[in-house]
Amino acid sequence: LVPLVESGGGSVQAGGSLRLSCAAAGWMLSGMGWFRQGQGKEREGVAGIDADGRISYAASVKSRFIISKDNAQNTLHLQMNSLKSEDTAQYYCLADLGDWPEQFLKTTAQRNGDWGQGTQVTVFA
């Protein structure tokens, strides 16, 4: 696993928005993705993008979250809109995930290893 340094988490009211970022210098040409793990829940892949620009989202966040790369800033973002209480989780950003994000979101979520610090997102009613 190649964990990156995340930022941008916090507490927000349901229906609000947050933007997560991770420093991705040196990894911008690799597959990268966002994962999350809520309290008592299994880790899941949220959004991924590969080197060819293919993007995949978990069904639970599709149409609400947007993953993007800022090539000028060497940063990966996750724009989260219309947040729900079930989005509350620790969010992690990983790089070097390969191609086909639909696949690597599923397989990577099950892997053990160093996931890094993550950033906490809390959505309250």
Encode pLDDT of 81-114 as tens digits.
Answer: 999 999 999 999 999 999 999 999 999 999 999 9
Q: Based on the number of CB atoms within 10 Å of its own CB, is 8 exposed (0-12), middle (13-18) or buried (19 or more)?
A: middle
Encode pLDDT of 39-86 as tens digits.
Answer: 999 999 999 999 999 999 999 999 999 999 999 999 999 999 999 999
C-beta of residue 60 within 8 angstroms of C-beta of residue 74? no
The partner residues of 92 in beta bridges, in order of sequence, read: 35
Residue 98 identity:
G
Locate 37 and state its tokens: 């793990």
C-beta of residue 90 within 8 angstroms of C-beta of residue 36? yes
